[in-house]
């Protein structure tokens, strides 16, 4: 395997850094087929720990069992050479911690997070550091980016360099008290994250970490402002007794969502040097591979670190029949992503061209009324035809496309009337010219 030369790391072409943490640096990269991925290159002081790398190599087989539309799957790993690395699906979006809160579509967020949690637990892994910073919002859908790697790094002496085990306010009380972090701890973190998204406030307040941790253990969460349909679920998930919390499957059932779909992103495997674990680590009680799991953080920010995580206390899947295979991304997921992107571009064109047509038609209403009506009629005809095509098609966004088209026609006519009433033709002509220049500059920059 070739070492990083500023351009490539193994078969991956590194494009730009996304963030750095206590254990590695995350890069945006291209795989051999030209698809974007996130590559985390371990820091030299981490790579020097041979025993930790061996354990991490063993855990990758379990990490790649976690898959679904709401998790950033581990795709590849290589623990050899001077620059060991792990590869995950790249999620383009912003962290929940930096988007405006309360979020608009709270049900969509809750259902997506519940499905992600169930996907993680079904693979026998516990996230242990689920929080808003570890939830990426991609086109309104949540994607969890942190799971699967910590046990291999538990023995590292570098934990003093800034690696964070978890975040008070989102860690369960039993974890803060030094007990084992199981699947119920993730359910607690899920509810705390969702409470933040619903209310716009930290559920256990702010201040010194010790004060926040004390409130988690001894006080009730602040859920004022949470919607009535969600508050009972949040309270059940935030109870202090881990045994009293619902499971991820029960949370999904209460939110009315199905079990997460598996295999949506195609057949995944290890194309690097990570090997299939030895039988002693494949779910045999008492082995390191059975007791703990870990996960990779691809959080694009200075705080992106490897964080401690453990498996869910469930019976781990049988890994004996797994073979090491080259990863081939799923065609269905790629097609859906492309369709979503095309729909976004089309919507922007419909709205943008509608505003420009309204400006031109309003400017021409007094001196050239026939031209004004012709502009409106031409735009309306084109958009209505597009809506008719959407009605006859079986696309993923048929309903949304029709609503956008018909709303644009009504909006353009209304804007035409308002503008032609309030402004003179000369002023409107200046507006139209300015809009044209801005549009051209935007296209050139794009």
What is the residue-wise DSSP string for 58-95? Answer: HHHHHHTT--STTB--EEEEE--SSS-EEEEE---SEE
Question: Which residues fall within 8 angstroms of residue 285, CB to CB, at 6 or more apart?
Answer: none
Count of beta carbons in the 10 Å neighbourhood of residue 296 = 30
Predicted confidence at residue 21, as pLDDT, reads 62
From 259, 251, 245, select the one nearest 230 (Cα to Cα): 251
Last residue of a domain, one of 261, 285, 317: 317
Predicted confidence at residue 124, as pLDDT, reads 84
Query: Mean per-residue pLDDT for 344-358?
Result: 85
The answer to the question of residue 95 being in a domain is yes
Of residues 381 and 23, more confidently modeled: 381
Give percent of the chain with pLDDT exceeding 70: 74
pLDDT digits (tens, 9 = 90+) for 323-336: 333 333 443 444 55
Whether residue 140 is found in the same domain as residue 275: yes
pLDDT-derived band of residue 260, with 50, 70 and 90 as boundaries?
A: low
Please state which of the ranges 53-57, 112-116, 384-388 shows the lowest mean pLDDT: 53-57
Whether residue 228 is found in the same domain as residue 175: yes
Secondary structure, 3-state, 264-278: CCEECCCCCCCCCCC
CB 309, CB 131: distance < 8 Å: no
pLDDT at 302 over 80: no
The answer to the question of residue 64 being in a domain is yes
Please state which of the ranges 284-288, 300-304, 352-356, 371-375 shows the lowest mean pLDDT: 284-288
Whether residue 292 is found in the same domain as residue 210: yes
pLDDT-derived band of residue 184, with 50, 70 and 90 as boundaries?
A: very high
Domain count for the chain: 2
Last residue of a domain, one of 273, 292, 317: 317
Catalytically annotated residues = 129
pLDDT at 206 over 60: yes
Predicted confidence at residue 106, as pLDDT, reads 96
pLDDT at 61 over 70: yes
Question: Which residues fall within 8 angstroms of residue 17, CB to CB, at 6 or more apart?
Answer: 25, 26, 27, 28
How is residue 159 written in tokens?
């934990």
Whether residue 253 is found in the same domain as residue 357: no
pLDDT digits (tens, 9 = 90+) for 72-113: 888 988 888 788 898 989 998 899 999 999 999 999 999 999
Query: Mean per-residue pLDDT for 233-262?
Result: 90
The secondary element (H helix, E strand) that includes residue 29 is strand 24-30
Dihedral angle at the C-alpha atoms of 411, 413, 414, 415, nearest 10 degrees? 80
- Give the burial string for 254-268 (b: 16+ CB within 10 Å, else e): bbebeebeeeebbeb
Predicted confidence at residue 163, as pLDDT, reads 41
The answer to the question of residue 199 being in a domain is yes
How is residue 241 written in tokens?
């007794």
pLDDT digits (tens, 9 = 90+) for 406-433: 888 898 899 989 988 888 888 888 888 8
Token pair 């699967």: residue: 148
Please state which of the ranges 8-22, 215-229, 354-368, 384-398 shows the lowest mean pLDDT: 384-398
Last residue of a domain, one of 317, 349, 381: 317
Whether residue 284 is found in the same domain as residue 357: no
Please state which of the ranges 48-62, 270-284, 334-348 shows the lowest mean pLDDT: 270-284
pLDDT digits (tens, 9 = 90+) for 209-229: 899 999 999 999 999 999 999
Query: Mean per-residue pLDDT for 264-283?
Result: 36
Highest mean pLDDT among 235-244, 277-286, 352-361, 402-411 belongs to: 235-244
Query: Residue 234 is part of a domain; what is its CATH number?
Result: 1.10.510.10
Q: How far is CA 94 from the centre of its chain?
A: 8
Whether residue 280 is found in the same domain as residue 386: no
| Domain of residue 393, residue span | 334-445
Of residues 241 and 386, more confidently modeled: 241
Whether residue 205 is found in the same domain as residue 310: yes
Is omega for the bond preceding 102 within 30 degrees of 0, making it cis?
A: yes
Predicted confidence at residue 169, as pLDDT, reads 92
Whether residue 354 is found in the same domain as residue 309: no
Whether residue 200 is found in the same domain as residue 339: no
What's the mean per-residue pLDDT of the chain? 76
pLDDT-derived band of residue 299, with 50, 70 and 90 as boundaries?
A: very low
Whether residue 253 is found in the same domain as residue 343: no
CB 354, CB 412: distance < 8 Å: yes
- The CA distance from 3 to 372, in Å, is 64
- The CA distance from 387 to 396, in Å, is 14
24 has which bridge partners? 42
pLDDT digits (tens, 9 = 90+) for 124-172: 888 888 899 889 999 899 999 867 554 445 445 444 444 435 678 999 9
Q: Does the annotation list 344 as a binding residue? A: no
């Amino acid at each position: 395997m070739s070492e990083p030369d500023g351009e490539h790391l193994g078969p991956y072409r590194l494009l730009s850094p996304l963030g750095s943490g206590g254990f590695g640096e995350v890069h945006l990269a291209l795989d051999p087929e030209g698809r974007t991925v996130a590559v985390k290159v371990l820091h030299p002081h981490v790579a020097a720990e041979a025993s930790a790398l061996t354990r991490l190599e063993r855990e990758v087989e379990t990490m790649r069992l976690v898959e679904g539309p709401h998790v950033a799957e581990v795709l590849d790993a290589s623990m050899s050479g001077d620059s060991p690395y792990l590869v995950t699906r790249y999620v383009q979006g912003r962290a929940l911690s930096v988007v405006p809160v309360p979020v608009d579509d709270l049900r969509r967020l809750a259902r997506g997070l519940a499905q992600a949690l169930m996907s993680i637990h079904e693979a026998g892994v516990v996230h242990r550091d689920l929080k808003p910073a570890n939830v990426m919002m991609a086109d309104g859908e949540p994607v969890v980016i942190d799971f699967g790697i910590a046990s291999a790094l538990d023995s590292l002496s570098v934990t003093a360099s800034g690696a964070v085990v978890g975040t008070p306010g989102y860690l369960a009380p039993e974890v803060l008290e030094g007990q084992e972090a199981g699947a119920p701890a993730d359910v607690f973190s899920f509810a705390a994250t969702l409470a933040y998204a619903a209310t716009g406030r930290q559920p256990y307040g702010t201040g010194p970490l010790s004060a926040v941790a004390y409130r988690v253990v001894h006080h009730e969460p602040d859920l004022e402002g949470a919607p009535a349909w969600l508050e009972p679920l949040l309270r059940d998930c935030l109870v202090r007794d881990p045994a009293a919390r619902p499971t991820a499957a029960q949370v999904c059932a209460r939110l009315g969502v199905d079990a997460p779909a598996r295999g949506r992103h195609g057949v995944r495997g290890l194309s690097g040097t990570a090997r299939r674990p030895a039988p002693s680590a494949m779910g045999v009680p008492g082995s390191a591979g059975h007791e703990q799991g870990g996960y990779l953080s691809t959080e694009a920010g200075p705080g992106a670190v490897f964080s401690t995580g453990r498996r869910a206390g469930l019976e781990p899947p049988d890994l004996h029949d797994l073979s090491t295979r080259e990863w081939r991304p799923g065609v269905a997921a790629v097609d859906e992503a492309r369709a979503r992107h095309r729909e976004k571009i089309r919507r922007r064109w419909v709205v943008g061209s509608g505003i420009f047509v309204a400006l031109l038609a309003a400017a021409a209403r007094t001196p050239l009324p026939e031209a004004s009506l012709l502009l409106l009629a031409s735009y309306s005809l084109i958009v209505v035809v597009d809506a008719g095509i959407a009605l006859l098609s079986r696309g993923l966004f048929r309903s949304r496309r029709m609503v956008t088209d018909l709303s644009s026609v009504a909006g353009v006519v209304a804007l035409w009337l308002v503008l032609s009433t309030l402004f003179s033709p000369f002023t409107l002509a200046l507006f139209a010219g300015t809009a044209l220049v801005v549009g051209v500059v935007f296209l050139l920059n794009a």
